[in-house]
């Protein structure tokens, strides 16, 4: 069967950054999945999963993927503009405006931190979501046990050069960092700890987001708000970026259904679209059941 081609979407952020986005499926479907990728990758990460679900459901649902600012085909901010999780949350809110029907938000790795920021800054709209599926997610920055300890120390030192007269040196350092990850990703394929995106990203955005993400933690009030959204957390037994213990803490904090996938690695939704797709289908089933039964919100356990 020929793989369907997604239709491009025009998405402009509040500060004028144009995001590269696309929709698979019709624009008037009764349900839409919106995908949030992690650091060092882009919307292409979701292709195996979106194609799998499109074929399995016969195109009955809409699926929206997008490149975050400074990633993939999206525009880069100006050199002097900083990028934070709040910027990514604002961008996500604009992307979600293109979704129709019941909306399921799916995120991977550091993309889960973007969902935290979205719920924190847009609590009323977030509570209207029909489901949340977090792959290899966490309450805080990934522990990354496969990464040498000196790596983050070097990255932090380079970050201090950002927005100074040595900004160009910082950008060059982070560009080198991304190239090394990209080369490793290409060499190891599906076994790579991180699967890089198809295009290189903005090194200044990477520097800013590493700083913003490393200082992030899931606040109790945000976790409480997320409990009203039917949520599913999938972790991977062999994840060397976000250990299963991190994902389990997230699931406990937001009262999500939790599953650990045996033998899987950090790129679970990319390398195992069948398992990832089953979680999204479960979220869709819960959304459909709640909509037709008038079920109470998930904010309190029985």
Sorting pLDDT into bands at 50, 70 and 90, what band is 183? confident
Q: What is the pLDDT of residue 197?
A: 74
- Tell me the C-alpha distance between 16 and 22, whole Å: 18
φ and ψ at residue 133, rounded to 5 degrees:
-120, 115
Q: What is the pLDDT of residue 280?
A: 97
Q: What is the pLDDT of residue 299?
A: 37
Mean predicted confidence (pLDDT) in 69-90: 94
Structure tokens given for 192: 């790579």
Q: How many CB atoms lie within 10 A of CB 23?
A: 21
Please say whether the beta carbons of 156 and 148 come within 8 A. Answer: no
- Tell me the C-alpha distance between 174 and 190, whole Å: 23
Query: What's the chain's average pLDDT?
Result: 88
- Tell me the C-alpha distance between 55 and 41, whole Å: 24
Over pLDDT 90: what percentage of the chain? Answer: 65
Q: For residue 103, which of 53, 160, 63, 148 has the smallest C-alpha distance?
A: 63
Q: Are strands 18-24 and 62-66 parallel, antiparallel or unpaired?
A: antiparallel
Mean predicted confidence (pLDDT) in 254-259: 98
Mean predicted confidence (pLDDT) in 37-49: 93
Q: Of 60-64, 212-216, 258-262, which range is least confident?
A: 212-216
- Tell me the C-alpha distance between 139 and 243, whole Å: 12
Sorting pLDDT into bands at 50, 70 and 90, what band is 261? very high
Q: What is the pLDDT of residue 203?
A: 87
21 contacts: CB under 8 Å, gap ≥ 6 = 8, 9, 10, 11, 43, 64, 65, 66, 67, 95, 98
Is 298's pLDDT higher than 50?
A: no
Is 288's pLDDT higher than 70?
A: yes
pTM, two decimal places: 0.90
Is 237's pLDDT higher than 50?
A: yes
13 contacts: CB under 8 Å, gap ≥ 6 = 19, 69, 87, 90, 91, 94
Q: What is the pLDDT of residue 88?
A: 98
HEC profile of the chain: CCCCCCEEEEEECCCCCEEEEEEECCCCCCEEEEEECCCCCCHHHHHHHHHHHHHHHCCCCEEEEECCCCCCCCCCCCCCCCCCHHHHHHHHHHHHCCCCCEEEEEEECCHHHHHHHHHHHCHHHHHCCCEEEEECCCCECCCCCCCCHHHHHHHHHHHCCCCCCCHHHHHHHHHHHHHHHHHHHHHHHHHCCCCCCCCCCCHHHHHHHHHHHHCCECCHHHHHHHCCCCEEEEEECCCCCCCHHHHHHHHHHHCCEEEEECCCCCCHHHHCHHHHHHHHHHHHHHHHHHHHHCCCCCCCCC
Mean predicted confidence (pLDDT) in 233-259: 96
Q: For residue 50, which of 99, 111, 5 has the smallest C-alpha distance?
A: 5
Sorting pLDDT into bands at 50, 70 and 90, what band is 302? very low
Q: What is the pLDDT of residue 294?
A: 58
- Tell me the C-alpha distance between 41 and 134, whole Å: 16
163: left (phi over 0), alpha (psi -120 to 50) or beta: left
Is 297's pLDDT higher than 50?
A: no
Mean predicted confidence (pLDDT) in 66-93: 94
Q: In this predicted model, what pLDDT tens digit does every residue of 84-94 receive, in sequence order?
A: 999 999 999 99
Sorting pLDDT into bands at 50, 70 and 90, what band is 153? low
Is 191's pLDDT higher than 70?
A: no
């Amino acid at each position: 069967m020929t793989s369907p081609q997604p239709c491009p979407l025009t998405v402009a952020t509040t500060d004028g950054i144009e995001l590269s986005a696309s929709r698979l499926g019709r624009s008037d479907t009764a349900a839409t999945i919106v995908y949030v990728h992690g650091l060092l990758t882009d919307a292409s990460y979701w292709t195996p999963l979106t194609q799998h679900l499109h074929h399995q459901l016969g195109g009955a649902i809409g699926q929206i993927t997008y490149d975050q600012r400074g990633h993939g085909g999206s525009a880069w901010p100006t050199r002097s503009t900083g990028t934070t999780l709040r910027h990514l949350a604002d961008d996500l809110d604009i992307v979600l405006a293109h979704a129709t029907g019941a909306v399921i938000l799916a995120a991977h790795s550091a993309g889960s931190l973007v969902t935290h920021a979205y719920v924190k800054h847009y609590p009323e709209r977030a509570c209207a979501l029909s489901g949340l599926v977090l792959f290899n997610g966490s309450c805080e920055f990934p522990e990354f046990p496969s990464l040498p300890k000196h790596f983050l120390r070097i990255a932090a030192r380079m970050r201090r050069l950002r927005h100074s007269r040595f900004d160009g040196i910082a950008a060059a350092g982070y560009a080198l960092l991304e190239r090394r990850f990209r080369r490793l990703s290409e060499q190891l394929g599906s076994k790579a700890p991180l699967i890089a995106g198809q295009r290189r990203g903005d090194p200044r955005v990477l520097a800013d987001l590493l700083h913003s993400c490393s200082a992030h933690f899931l606040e109790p009030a945000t976790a409480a708000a997320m409990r009203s959204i039917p949520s599913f957390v999938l972790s991977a037994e062999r994840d060397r970026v976000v250990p299963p213990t991190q994902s389990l803490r997230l699931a406990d904090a937001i009262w999500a259904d939790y599953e650990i996938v045996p033998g899987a690695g950090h790129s679970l939704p990319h390398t195992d679209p069948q398992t990832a797709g089953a979680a999204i289908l479960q979220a869709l089933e819960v959304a459909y059941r709640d909509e037709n039964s008038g079920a109470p919100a998930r904010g309190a356990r029985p």
